[in-house]
Amino acid sequence: MALLPDFVTGNAGLCLIAASCIGATWLYYRRASTLPNVPGPPPSSFLTGNLLDVVAPATGRDWLLNVSTVYGGVAKLGTLFGGHSLLVNDPRALHQVLVKDQDIFEEWSAWTTTNSLLFGPGLLATVGSQHKKQRKMLGPAFSVTHLRVMTPMFVSIARELETHISSMVQNNPQEVDMIGWLTRFALEAIGRGGMGRSFGNMTEATIFSEAAKQLTASLSVMSPGATLTPFFKYLGPPQFRRLLLKSIPWSLLQRLVDIVDIMDDEAKKILAEQQKDLANHDTDKDGEDIIRILLRANQASNEEERMTEEELVAQISILVFTAMDTTSTAIARVLHLLALHPDVQEKLRAEVIEAYHHQDEAVDFNNLSALPYMDAIIKETLRVYPPIPMMFRQTLKDTVLPLLHPITGEDGKVMNEVHVEKGTDIVVNIIGANHNTKTWGKDASEWKPERWLSDLPESVTKIRDLSGVFAHQMTFIAGNRSCIGFNFAQLEMRVVLAILIQSLEFSIPKDKEIAWNSGLLMTPVLEGSSSIHTQLPLIVKKRKI
């Protein structure tokens, strides 16, 4: 998937790049930092620094890993017009950025502004006290207690998925694009579990499901223009900005506007339905979904603490966006790896069949958590192949980053800390942290589920308080902006694997090679394809039970 060539094709693409560069002139003066002694890769150009290296679809992931290997836990990256940012994967420095001094290292303004323009003032678009208020109110809906209640619903949807795929391969093995089916599963899971409604037949796409599926692909293509968005919000009221966007003759941009409209309209309908049910004390629905729990909490809050109607609508769109693509690509990565490693696949299958060898054995929260090999596969996959390879922060005042592993500066002297000026952008190198050989050992970049079946090395356990919220790794980040739905995503992964692996076998097509491209997410594509859309063709065979 040649995202950047697609992006720069045509006058509209070139105009957006030019606009980004003009806007970035201001960013240079704001972000330029005195980091002359921190080593780092030479900029590819004065105009773009290392930015195009970082976002290159086919090579960005490997580039980040190589920089971490060569330069250590902190590296200096070139940005627009000769500016600099810091690429960070050192455990102690990440703890400082994400946990200890998280109020100093705030979410990147280009990220929050983009999310605000796309979804409204929801969890991904807010900072400071507003973000803390929203997260506190959403928290109970993602608790383990609530997930226990939701497990039967996930199992039901997974069985629907298995039934549809089994019917396709009943007589003979067939090539199946698994990412399409997994996306439908994830959308239906967040629909029923999050919104209290179904988004339609799993075998048939709807206008909404197609829009939601295309959003990430469209944004990934346009990501090089992200630095423009903080300026865009100053170009007048929303109506004028919308008119401005509509005047740009770029089909991809126009499609993005349509996608946002479709998702916003659906979110408003969902909220209206939920508010009506709550007002009528409707208790007929199965269990308590996320939005209903949120509305009850909002209703019970003090008036000054309550979310506005706009904030509530934004939460719905954001939940659909984040829960659908990240989960489906994570499950897709596991299935791809199982297809590449049939011995691991068979070992997992044996564990699952042994656990559910009685036909009336229910797949529930407790026994899903008691499958050590499945747990190892999920943890190792999320460590080696995090769906999101990096995140960004901006420094709000001068500070110091302490290092667990000192680096050697360009002057040859050992650096135990790095002085960071206000305005410096921090690239949180998730994949670099997860592959850090000083933490995980020389085989850090190898996919070895077995490493989780015995005691982890001291180098891993000693950073327990410095690492993220999940299994000593940074996949779900840490601090008050960690992924609120990481337990939700893991449960979906466990349920799908437990249901599919019992009756289906997965292998790699002989005539196709699957690659994974960097963008907003790591997404599967066919090697050499120029499409912006994801594909994961696997040979699926029905097992005789």
Q: Report the alpha-carbon distance of residue 357 to residue 353 in Å, rounded.
A: 5
Spans of all domains in the chain: 32-119+394-446, 120-237+263-385+482-544
Cβ atoms of residues 132 and 480 within 8 Å: yes
Q: How confident is the model at residue 246 (pLDDT cuts 50, 70, 90)?
A: confident
The encoded tokens of residue 326 equal 């990240």
Query: Taking the CA atoms of the chain, what radius of gyration do you get in angstroms?
Result: 23
Residue type, 342: P
Residue type, 38: V
Q: Report the alpha-carbon distance of residue 399 to residue 254 in Å, rounded.
A: 42
pTM: 0.89
Q: Report the alpha-carbon distance of residue 253 to residue 275 in Å, rounded.
A: 33
Cβ atoms of residues 68 and 436 within 8 Å: yes
Tell me the per-residue pLDDT of 329-356, one tens digit each, with 9 for 90 and over: 999 999 999 999 999 999 999 999 999 8
Tell me the per-residue pLDDT of 465-486, one tens digit each, with 9 for 90 and over: 676 778 889 999 999 999 999 9
Can you tell me which residue has the tokens 């939940």? 319
Most confident of 210-219, 283-292, 344-353, 481-490: 344-353
| Paired residues of 526 in beta bridges | 514
Longest dimension (CA), the chain: 71
Tell me the per-residue pLDDT of 360-390, one tens digit each, with 9 for 90 and over: 567 888 888 889 999 999 999 999 999 999 9
Angle (nearest 5°) at CA 209 between 481 and 130: 25
Kindly give the pairing relationship between strand 84-88 and strand 74-78: antiparallel
pLDDT computed for residue 311 by the predictor: 96
For the chain, counts of helices (H) and of strands (E): 22, 12
Q: Which residue has the higher pLDDT, 439 or 9?
A: 439
Cβ atoms of residues 191 and 286 within 8 Å: no
What single string gives the DSSP state of each residue in 348-371? HHHHHHHHT-STT----HHHHTT-
Q: Report the alpha-carbon distance of residue 120 to residue 267 in Å, rounded.
A: 11
Per DSSP, the three-state class of 505 is strand
| Paired residues of 542 in beta bridges | 504
| Paired residues of 407 in beta bridges | 415
Cβ atoms of residues 428 and 479 within 8 Å: no
Q: Which residue has the higher pLDDT, 228 or 136?
A: 136
Q: What are phi and psi of 464, to 5 degrees?
A: -50, -45
Cβ atoms of residues 19 and 69 within 8 Å: no
Per DSSP, the three-state class of 169 is coil
* CA dist list (Å): 159 to 147, 372, 374, 500: 18, 22, 18, 8
User: Was domain 120-237+263-385+482-544 assigned CATH 1.10.630.10?
Assistant: yes
Other CB atoms within 10 A of residue 372 CB:
12
Average pLDDT over residues 80-89: 92
Kindly give the pairing relationship between strand 390-395 and strand 174-177: unpaired
Q: What are phi and psi of 474, to 5 degrees?
A: -100, 10
Per DSSP, the three-state class of 10 is coil
Average pLDDT over residues 179-198: 92
Other CB atoms within 10 A of residue 360 CB:
5
Q: How confident is the model at residue 226 (pLDDT cuts 50, 70, 90)?
A: low
pLDDT at position 407 over 70:
yes
15 in a labelled binding site: no
pLDDT computed for residue 9 by the predictor: 33
* CA dist list (Å): 147 to 151, 185, 200, 413, 485: 6, 17, 23, 51, 10
Write down how long the chain is.
545
The encoded tokens of residue 504 equal 């289906």
Cβ atoms of residues 472 and 461 within 8 Å: yes
Q: How confident is the model at residue 183 (pLDDT cuts 50, 70, 90)?
A: very high
